[in-house]
Chains A and B, each alone.
Chain A
Amino acid sequence: MAKVVFTPNVQRHVGCPTAEAGGTTVREVLEKVFAANPQARSYVLDDQSALRRHIAIFVDGQMIRDRAHLGDAVKDSSTIHVFQALSGG
């Protein structure tokens, strides 16, 4: 199962402990994580379920490119980091 690590900066707003979930894309993994932690969802995704403008996601060190559909591939051994993008100031 892929490991999902959230930025420490979100923790004071909503608890986002490191989670593990299966899936072949970022979307599949994150949907499982948010199903277990629904309040965290809107902190990472916007109303259209796209990645928020100033959130960056890395899969095994590579920033994902499909910010609308989160279709980037994930392996069972992957680590997904959900970070604040520097672009947000």
Chain B
Amino acid sequence: MSDKLLVSTRKGLFTVARKAGSWDISGVDFLGDNVTLTLTDSRNGRSYAALDLGHFGVKLHRSTATGWEEIAVPTYPPKPEGYEEKDMWGRELNWSTAKIWALATGGPDEPGTIWCGTLPGGLFRSNDHGRSWEMMRSLWDHPKRKQWMGGGADLPGIHSICVDPHNSKRVWVAVSTGGIWHTEDGGASWVQRGDGMRAEYVPPELAHDPIAQDVHCLVQCRAAPDRMWVQHHNGIFVSSDEGKTFTEITDVEPSVFGFAVVVHPREPDTAWFVPEIKDEKRIPREGKLAVTRTRDGGKSFEVLTKGLPQTHAYDVVYRHALALDEAGDRLAFGSTTGGLWVSENQGDGWACVTHTLPPIYAVRFA
């Protein structure tokens, strides 16, 4: 069980700790700065924090025995002289890290490996705990990469990275918007995955094109990696063959729209979502904040509301702001309106830690 949360917000990184059965803010770092994501490496206890300093760019920090140190940030290669690449507005696409949108550890046989997904679409790997980064040119140079489009942001970006728990060379990444991509060889080559997903925001002939899919979040069951869950712009999808094919889950109350999904580490049929009205409004239905949970692979869902506000709640929960601890019992999520809730019983009941934080971008157990 984890007793500690790292909460990334628009105005700092908050540490929330469990003490005497209660969760409280125990510390804050980078106060005033925009912290977009953290990763805690369970192999060595080190934490990483991604900052977006606006004027001064994206930065990455790593925890030390006494605090934090700035480390290298993934950097795009020089754009070849005369090479032109436009974004969807016809503007020159800048090959420069605009956001760190995914951080994941490599496998147990790669102790220094960290994966990092960015906007405008670059995937990077560090083999030395973040001291240096190498861009996966095989994916960046893939001819279909130029078909990726903005989704959650103006620029396309990689927001989900899943490393096969049994084979570190097998990795899946998800792109908003560009679907799911998979490597069998540690990133030397990539293929598109994700047949069966469906997009309503493109003409019908493109609706099932895997590259048109706006995956909001992709997760993989650690004990049963065949099982993947997707929260998609158009709903919930589940795969039982490592993401090769997906089945759409429909008729989920109160909504199939959302950003976040987590899957139980040992029970592939158990997953949680935070539903919102799709998709122009993006608020909880009727102002009632809820988490949905399936325990049977998506055949049925429970709506979990105990301890969550049920009147005039307009909390939006972003894709990295729902977390499940490694034991699979404790959940936490944070909202754009600064609310933070924790459950110690798989979502049956929730306790509000605070509702006055800055906008929350990511919640992670540490």
Contacts and interface: CB of A to CB of B under 8 A. Distances in A.
Interface of A: 9-10, 13-14, 39, 42-44, 46-50, 52, 54-55, 84-85, 88-89
B94 A55 contact: no
B190 interface: no
Interface in B68-98: 70, 73, 75-76, 78-79, 94-97
A10 B33 CA distance: 12
Given A39-B70, A42-B73, A48 B94 contact: yes
A48 B55 contact: no
Contacts of B53: 13, 43
Contact of B95 (A14, A47, A89): A47
Contact of B96 (A48, A54, A84, A89): A48
A interface: dominant SS: loop
A15 B1 CA distance: 40
B54 interface: yes
A43 B73 CA distance: 11
Given A46-B94, A47-B96, A52 B55 contact: yes
A48 B57 contact: no
B95 A52 contact: no
A6 to B, nearest CB: 11
Nearest to A88: B55
B31 to A, nearest CB: 11
Contacts of B96: 46-48, 50
Q: Max chain A CB contacts within 10 Å: which of B56, B76, B96?
A: B56
A9 B55 CA distance: 10
Contacts, number: 45
A54 B54 contact: yes
A89 B97 CA distance: 19
A33 to B, nearest CB: 16
A5 B97 CA distance: 26
A9 B54 CA distance: 12
Nearest to B53: A13
Given A42-B73, A48-B95, A54-B55, 20 more contacts: A10-B56, A13-B56, A13-B59, A42-B59, A43-B53, A43-B56, A43-B57, A46-B94, A47-B76, A47-B95, A47-B97, A48-B76, A48-B78, A49-B78, A52-B55, A54-B54, A55-B56, A84-B55, A88-B54, A88-B55
Contacts of B94: 46-48, 50
A48 B115 CA distance: 22
B365 to A, nearest CB: 28
A71 to B, nearest CB: 15
B54 A89 contact: yes
Contact of B79 (A14, A48, A55): A48
Contacts of B56: 10, 13, 43-44, 52, 55
A35 to B, nearest CB: 17
A47 B75 contact: yes
Q: Max chain B CB contacts within 10 Å: which of A49, A52, A55, A84?
A: A52
Nearest 5 CB-CB pairs, A to B?
A: A47-B96, A46-B96, A47-B76, A43-B56, A54-B55
A88 B34 CA distance: 13
B324 to A, nearest CB: 33
Contacts of A13: 53, 56, 59
A43 B57 CA distance: 6
Nearest to B77: A47
24 contacts: A9-B55, A14-B70, A39-B70, A42-B57, A42-B59, A42-B75, A43-B56, A43-B57, A46-B57, A47-B75, A47-B76, A47-B94, A47-B96, A47-B97, A48-B78, A48-B79, A48-B94, A48-B95, A50-B94, A52-B56, A52-B57, A55-B56, A85-B55, A89-B54
